[in-house]
Structure 1
Amino acid sequence: MIALLTRDLKLAVRAGGGFGLGLAFFLILVALVAFGVGPESALLARIAPGILWVGALLACLLSLDRIFALDREDGSLDLLATAPLPMEGIVTVKALAHWITTGLPLVVAAPLLALMLSLPGEGYLWLFLSLLLGTPALSVLGTFGAALTVGLKRGGLLMSLIVLPLYVPTLIFGAEVARRGAGGLSVEVPLLLLAGITCATLALLPFASAAVLRVNLR
């Protein structure tokens, strides 16, 4: 499992469109919003939680089609399917590698980029915590979408159509945590709901992804 994780991390760093692409997209999106809205601090502060969460969501979406595509192209996926490792474990490692190379950099960068959007000081901690808690769900949901479309040529658009509706609950509650935190309001309810979504995806979707991969590899 550790060897597979190390291999996927190296591939993400070496392969084009992997590590760093999501972070660059996140930075460009936030900068464009800040330039487009203009120097209206009150408006920027009000929309900052939603913009940052939408940017993180779209940045995660960029690299989802590469989770299984490289392994499918070189035949590694067929070898992994016959390996002694359970398919559920392989899927979990793939999702973890995606989160480390895509989600985690976004979590670290978000508070810095929030400065461009004039996010109130009370919201930085809650923005960081909401992304730290919610981005693993984005990676796991994305892995499920990638598993559904792994056998299709140019399945990226279809995968986006499948995954984006599944992302909506995480987006809603994640942005709500950051918004309430920035406004000094109670974040307990949306934070618990966000945690519940993440725990449910981590518990259930690796099995669904593994089942879909077994069907696609037959």
Structure 2
Amino acid sequence: MSALVLRDLALAFRSGGGFGLALAFFLIVTVLVPFGIGPESGRLALVAPGILWMGALLSCLLSLDRLFALDREDGTLELLATAPVPLEGVAAAKALAHWLTTGLPLTLAAPALGILLNLPAAGYWPIFVSLLIGTPALSLIGTFGAALTVGLKRGGLLLSLLVLPLYIPTLIFGAEVARRGAEGLAAGAALLLLGAITAGCLALAPLAAAAALRINMR
């Protein structure tokens, strides 16, 4: 599995479709928001946690359609299906590589970009922790969606429509952790629920993605 992760990391950095694109989109969203809602610092501080979480969520969507599509086009997916590593392990490796190239950089960049949105100083740590715990769920759910649409041409739009409703619980509790932390309130319950969502995705998403891949390769 480590070889699969390293391979996907190399492909992502070589093609520029993961790390750089997601960060650039995240930056653009953060910069444009003050122009859209006005420069008033109090208003920006109020919406900053939600905007940062929404920007991270949309940035994670950008490279999902590439998770399995390229492997299917060049025949690598069929080879992986017959490899000693089960398809569940392949799906988990894909999700890990996607998180390392998108979720982790976005998590590290979010506190710095929060300055542009006048995020209170008390909110830097909560937004970092919430993204650190919540973004793996985004990658795992996205891997399942990519496996469902791998056999479709131009399935990027359909992938977004399938995945976005599944992202809603993670978005709600992740933004709630960041918001309550920025306001100095206790966020333990929301953080536990966010962790439970990620743990559930970790247990179920690779199994569901592997089942979808088997169906699409028949």
Structure 2-normalised TM-score?
A: 0.98
The match for 1:211 is: 211
Percent identical residues: 71
The CA distance in 1 between the partners of 2:210 and 2:154, in whole Å, is 21
The CA distance in 2 between the partners of 1:183 and 1:7, in whole Å, is 42
What is the DSSP-based 3-state SS (H/G/I as helix, E as strand, rest coil) of the residue aligned with 1:20?
helix
The CA distance in 2 between the partners of 1:68 and 1:88, in whole Å, is 13
The CA distance in 1 between the partners of 2:18 and 2:110, in whole Å, is 19
- How many residues align structurally? 218
The match for 1:62 is: 62
Post-superposition Cα deviations, 1:9-45, rounded to whole Å, max 9, x if no partner, equal: 0000112423310110000000000232332000000
TM alignment of 1:143-158, pairs within 5 A: 143-158=143-158
TM alignment of 1:197-208, pairs within 5 A: 197-208=197-208
Q: Cα distance, 1:4 vs. partner?
A: 1.1
Return the letter of the residue paired with 1:30: T
Structure 1 segments (4+ residues) deviating >4 Å: none
The CA distance in 2 between the partners of 1:121 and 1:62, in whole Å, is 30
The CA distance in 2 between the partners of 1:37 and 1:65, in whole Å, is 31
Tell me if the contact between 2:18 and 2:98 (Cα under 8 Å) persists in the aligned partners: no
The match for 1:132 is: 132
Structure 1 stretches lacking a partner, 5+ long: none
Return the letter of the residue paired with 2:154: R
Return the letter of the residue paired with 1:194: L
Post-superposition Cα deviations, 1:147-175, rounded to whole Å, max 9, x if no partner, equal: 00000001111111100000000000000
The CA distance in 1 between the partners of 2:111 and 2:16, in whole Å, is 27
Post-superposition Cα deviations, 1:63-113, rounded to whole Å, max 9, x if no partner, equal: 100001111111100000011111100100000000000110000000000
Q: After superposing the two structures, state which structure 1 stretch, 69-78 or 129-138, moved more.
A: 69-78
The CA distance in 2 between the partners of 1:192 and 1:3, in whole Å, is 32
The CA distance in 2 between the partners of 1:75 and 1:194, in whole Å, is 37
What is the Cα-based RMSD across aligned positions, in Å? 0.8
The match for 2:41 is: 41
Structure 2 stretches lacking a partner, 5+ long: none
